[in-house]
A and B are shown apart, each in its own frame.
Chain A
Amino acid sequence: MSKPHHTRPLLELPQRLPARITRILDGPEVWQHLHAIGVHPGDCIEVLRKAPFGGPIHIRCSGQDIALGRNLAMKILVEPQN
């Protein structure tokens, strides 16, 4: 059995490490917003890069590239995959 990886906010996920979304914190508004663009709990997600000057992070979620603001990235909890 593999060692369990601890859950952490997406923003703290190292670059290029595949992970799975476990939870989306905060109210329905944030949830719906993310949902509409195709980010759901259970999806595979990967951080490709972070923009400088406190800018967004570039993620790949279910094969699609999205730029996500850092506040939002703090509200997505992920668990790294092996």
Chain B
Amino acid sequence: MKIVLIGQPNSGKSTIFNWIGGYKSATANFPGTTVNFTTAKARISGWQVELVDLPGIYSLTATDAATTAALNYLLETANPESNNGTSTEILVNIVDASRLSRALELTLQLLELGRPLVLCLNMMDEARRRGLRIDIPKLASMLGVPIVATVASKGQGVIELMQKVRQAARPPNSITPPPLLPPIQQAVANIAQSLDGELGVLEKPIGSMKFPGRFLILKLIENDPTFVALAKQALPQNCAEKLLAETSQQRRLIQTSTGRAAEIMVAEDRADRSKRIFQNCTEVGRPEFGWRDRLDDILMHPVWGYVWLALILYIFFNIIFKIGAMLEPELLGWFGKSNSYILSRLGENTFGATVLSGILQGLGAGVGIVLPYLVPFLLGMAFLEDVGYLPRVAFLMDGLMQRIGLHGTSVFPAILGYGCSVPAVMATRILRSPRDRFIAAMLAIMAPCSARTTVILGLVAFYLSPNAALAIYGLNIVIIALAGKVLAKIWPEITPGLVMEIPPYRVPATKLLLAKTWWRLKEFIVLAWPMLIAGSIVLSVAEAWQLDHKINAVLRPLTSILGLPSAVGTTLIFGVMRKELSLMMLMHALGTTDVTTAMTPVQIGVFTLFVVFYIPCLATITVLWKEIGKQRTILAIALTLILAVGISLLGRFVPWILGLH
């Protein structure tokens, strides 16, 4: 049994997915978190299910990458075939009940697919706050589907939802969508008639397609290119030609009889039907003008909004600095001690000791350096996301972002970039044009990810000063802005303008915050930490066999230009594997845990600048390759390398010119 969760962005799909499937999908309170669909297997009281969490979409018209991904799943991957009378796949349409009127438009389209469907009215608490009272039995009878009310953030109604889904699995529902407006109804009937039964029954799937003919005809009247292509591909040639010819005839007819384009009429018809159903089944009372509106007045204020933004980010990073700085020396000291104890027992010059010392260094880097900063950072980030602050940031920043050629929406990849470049690059899928995606991806990989944050904090904040670390962040933002401006100049484009939902503030559920933090942390533990340890072993061995000298010799032109000790050459190679390796490897390569004994403050600064800006890590390169293509990935690598050298040179010579050397 497969359960496919589908709904608009921010309707709580991922939250429900997490409740059932065990916290594998990231939830966030801003549009477009799930760009790739996530699946999980779960057991619900002995019942084995597979969950699919599709990206949030507003309609079944593919206007962006997220909708295309969801649509492709529904049209191709999905398997609606029945198994002795029971369907093996149930759609669960998750809807934000407080925005029911609009959400019903997608529901009506999903009903056209003719699949078993359960409607989940989520965020019922929010709906009540907005003064909305929904007559659920009436809505269920109008739509002809089972409905469950939930408050997923608190887990309310989720079990009942699963029970309804299980019942829906037994008798295959025959769904009759609510009637269409006369001109469109007429057009559908005419098209079906002209084909003289060649399409079969309108309510049954046709040809190799997995949805009813009626839905195809409606999408063709809308002139949806996805479906025009599909019809040509899935139907016999003469049938497809006849169908398309008749459709364009009917489109013209609608245009002349109503004075509106056919696609507008179809969409308007859907909006109209949704609205009528909504008005029939709901009572709208007075919404509470609550603390949320007052909070928006403060946080989105044209002047104070920015002050609050700066303050919030300042506090956010300071808390992370403080917690990390408190834990780091403790943990590192403890690790250093146990390290030397174990090595003294083994004897320093054996091969086993070399490997073990590498393992310990790798473990130590994870425990001592990454975790103290990563855990508070991920937790804080999850909090800002779930509370709903990020779209407000996008609102405030849009005007400024436009100056670097991007929309406020691109703030999301950029902000995610401060966590990890990998999801940041993936998040650029929410942008519509390839040009926006490339620029946003370029800028996102330049934002210091948590691994690079570790380097900045572990080196600059720890050995120089927290203010120096802040200065690096400040410089980074300036460079990103300049890079955006240059890229936008090279590649100008007129964009249609921002349309973004601003979700209400929500008190995040602690369980979900922890789940999300754990989910992201797990990526570090499962993917990065083993790499960290493996890298440490390789470096240990390379050092024992004196390979590092060869690597350092090859990189000497670079390190000498930057005025760095040639021993750091290897660390830069390892930094490409994982950025945080460069810090850990630095201590290893210099043979000390106190970097100041081997490097001057300027050298520490230059090294950090170079690591912050140079080539993205292997994992990021992999997703870049997938998202923006080979050529642009190579371009991104070259550009970041050139940029890193340039900025590091500035970092080397500016203090010298100012006489600070």
> CB within 8 Å of B: which residues of A?
28-38, 40, 48-56, 58, 62-72
Contacts and interface: CB of A to CB of B under 8 A. Distances in A.
Given A33-B496, A35-B267, A63-B130, A55 B395 contact: yes
A65 B264 contact: no
A51 B302 contact: yes
B287 A72 contact: no
Contacts of A56: 395, 398-399, 408, 498, 500
A49 B60 CA distance: 31
B499 to A, nearest CB: 5
Q: Which 9 A-B pairs have the closest CB atoms?
A: A53-B399, A55-B399, A69-B497, A38-B102, A69-B498, A65-B502, A72-B497, A36-B58, A55-B398
B261 interface: yes
Contacts of B503: 65
B63 A33 contact: yes
Contacts, number: 118
Interface in B292-318: 296, 300, 302-303
A52 B309 CA distance: 14
B268 interface: yes
A32 B63 contact: yes
Interface string B302-345: 11000000000000000000000000000000000000000000
A31 B262 CA distance: 13
B60 to A, nearest CB: 10
B396 interface: yes
29 contacts: A28-B263, A32-B63, A34-B499, A35-B59, A37-B501, A38-B58, A38-B102, A49-B300, A51-B395, A51-B399, A52-B396, A53-B402, A55-B397, A56-B395, A56-B398, A56-B408, A58-B395, A62-B99, A62-B102, A63-B130, A63-B132, A64-B99, A66-B500, A67-B394, A67-B501, A68-B497, A68-B498, A71-B496, A72-B498
Interface residues of B, number: 43
A40 B400 CA distance: 29
A47 B407 CA distance: 20
Contacts of A40: 268, 271
A55 B130 CA distance: 27
Interface of B: 58-59, 61, 63, 98-99, 101-102, 105, 130, 132, 261, 263-264, 267-268, 271, 287, 296, 300, 302-303, 391, 394-400, 402-403, 407-408, 496-504
Contacts of B300: 49, 51, 58
Contacts of B499: 33-34, 37, 66-69, 72
Given A28-B263, A51-B398, 5 more contacts: A32-B61, A34-B499, A40-B268, A55-B402, A69-B498
Contacts of A63: 98-99, 101, 130, 132, 287
A56 B502 CA distance: 12
A30 to B, nearest CB: 6
A33 B263 CA distance: 12
Contacts of A71: 496-497
A58 B299 CA distance: 13
A55 B497 CA distance: 10
A20 to B, nearest CB: 14
A52 B400 CA distance: 9
Nearest to A55: B399
B161 to A, nearest CB: 24
A28 to B, nearest CB: 6
